[in-house]
Every structure is written in C-alpha cells, then in structure tokens.
Amino acid sequence: MVTIGNEKMGKILGIVLKIGFVLFIPLMITLPFFLNHNISIIHPMFIIYPNGIVMLGIIIQFMKLFRSLENNQPFTFENVKVLKTASYLSFGMFLLWIIDLLDLLLIIKNYYLNYIIVLLFLAILFFGVGIALHILSVLFHQATNYKIENDLTI
C-alpha cells in the first residue's frame, strides 16, 4: 500500500532528476569550449566525464525504479533488473575512482593527502553502494518469487 506522501515524493524526485538532466547534459557538453584548452584543464575532464556518464546511468535506473513505484508495482522482475544494473554501474564507478586515484598518483604525481583521501572515500563509497544494491536486487528477486507464488495460490 502506497501512501499519498510517497507518491508526491516520487513525483518531486522525478521532476528534480529531469531538471538535472536538462541542465547537466548541455553544461557538460559546452563546458570545454568555455574553458581554456590547456592540458591542466583537459586532462581532468577525461577523468571526470566517464564518472559523470556512469552516474547518469545510475540516475536513469533510479528513475525507472520510481516509475514502477508510482505504478504501485514494487515487486517485479523489472525492478530486480534495474537494481542489478544500478549495482553493476556502481561497481563501474568504483573502478573509475580507483583509476582516477592511480592516475593521480602515477601519472600526475600529485601526492596531496586530501585528494588521495577523497578519491579513496569515493571508491569505497561506490563499492559499498554496489554491494548494497546487489543485496537489494537479490531480496527483491526472492520477494517477487514469493509474491508470484502467493498470487497463484489465491
């Protein structure tokens, strides 16, 4: 049973995510043209853009999940697939942050402790998010099986 407050929250989050898409994508495409085209600016953009693209993929998966919750269908195999895809994307973000950390240490040779701590934190965060989403996908898979079995017995 979904309450009216959850429906409003889902709609508000959907609107915020769509506004973010409308503003974020043109900004990321046009930003390199407005900045100076020297190596110190272009190199981080090759590092940060893949992270942003994968993050947009995670946001798209959550938008699909909100859509199914608005339709009052939380336990479906489509939601299991969405959670599993978001889990894989989170593990991808983990790998990208590790690559960013290695790039910082080995290629740029920047040994500032603050940067290293932030990149390690982000890598560990997305590894934990990936594990949590994978566990949720397994739980949703089992709950969907129980729901289907329960629907057949009634």
Looking at residue 4, its pLDDT comes to: 53
- In this predicted structure, the answer to whether residue 39 has a pLDDT above a threshold of 80 is no
pLDDT band at residue 141 using 50, 70 and 90 as cut-offs: very high
pLDDT band at residue 11 using 50, 70 and 90 as cut-offs: confident
pLDDT in tens, 85-134: 999 999 999 999 999 888 888 887 877 888 889 999 999 999 999 999 99
Averaged pLDDT, 40-65: 79
For 143-154, give the DSSP string.
HHHHHHHHHHH-
73 Cβ contact partners less than 8 Å away, ≥ 6 residues apart: 79
Q: Name the residue type at position 92.
A: G
Least confident interval from 14-18, 40-44, 64-68, 86-90: 40-44
pLDDT higher at 11 or 139:
139
> What is the rounded average pLDDT for all residues in the chain?
83
Q: Name the residue type at position 73.
A: Q
Distance CA 153, CA 78 (A): 22
Looking at residue 1, its pLDDT comes to: 43
129 Cβ contact partners less than 8 Å away, ≥ 6 residues apart: 90, 93
